Amino acid sequence: MKNLLLISIIVLSSSYCFSQHDKENKKDYQLNYEEFITHYGVDDTSIAIIDVFFDKRQNCAGGKMSLLSLSAGIAVLNASIGVGLMAVSTPLFLSGTITRIKYSRRHLLKALINYQNADVLTVNLKQRVVTYLEIEADCIQEEIENTPLATYKTIK
């Protein structure tokens, strides 16, 4: 009985210590999307940089990396098909891993600081940001054209 009580106390205390609760002393690269927007989203370009990084990190890399686990599950059920799928999905998994590293929060923070201090972006990032801003402007213009009585303030 004492052992059970001791084990339960240890488990509960360790789960409390390692739980994901808000820390007030977060490092800048540990911020989530909303906190990045709040702290570093001073203009449209900064917000576009944050959107590009989070979009590439979550959507592109996540889709590539999820295929390997799906292929492994199929390999358990049908080995001949699963091995072929794993041969195709392993390079995609590596590409997704490289994408997640390339678009990490630390690199986002460096890009934002470089942009805010020296107004400098890499050529690839600048091209992505310009494309993102053009698409966003087109979407806003299309929305204005589709709702003729709407004001700009309600759309933005």
Asked if the structure places residue 35 within a domain, the reply is no
Asked if the structure places residue 28 within a domain, the reply is no
Query: Which range of residues forms the domain containing residue 111?
Result: 41-155
Asked if the structure places residue 11 within a domain, the reply is no
Question: Do residues 37 and 50 make contact, with C-beta atoms less than 8 angstroms apart?
Answer: yes
What pLDDT score does 127 carry? Answer: 93
DSSP 8-class letter at 119:
-
What pLDDT score does 111 carry? Answer: 92
Question: Rg for the chain (alpha carbons), in Å?
Answer: 22
What pLDDT score does 77 carry? Answer: 85
DSSP 8-class letter at 19:
S
- The 10 Å CB-count burial string (b at 16+, else e) for 140-150 is eeeeeeeeeee
Contacts (Cβ under 8 Å, ≥6 apart) of 12: none
Weakly modelled stretches of the chain, pLDDT under 50: 17
pTM for the full predicted model? 0.68
Asked if the structure places residue 33 within a domain, the reply is no
Asked if the structure places residue 36 within a domain, the reply is no
Question: Do residues 32 and 98 make contact, with C-beta atoms less than 8 angstroms apart?
Answer: no
Asked if the structure places residue 23 within a domain, the reply is no
Q: Report CA 100 to chain centroid distance, whole Å.
A: 8
What pLDDT score does 134 carry? Answer: 93
What pLDDT score does 32 carry? Answer: 84
Tokens of 55: 């979009």
Question: Residue 106, by phi and psi: left (phi above 0), alpha (psi -120 to 50) or beta?
Answer: alpha
Report the 10 Å Cβ neighbour count for 134.
Answer: 10
Give the residue carrying structure tokens 């204005």: 144
What pLDDT score does 8 carry? Answer: 63
Question: Do residues 83 and 74 make contact, with C-beta atoms less than 8 angstroms apart?
Answer: no
Asked if the structure places residue 4 within a domain, the reply is no
Angle made by CA atoms 134, 138, 139, in degrees to the nearest 5: 120
pLDDT single digits (tens) 29-69: 678 888 888 888 888 899 999 999 998 888 877 778 888 88
Number of structural domains, the chain? 1
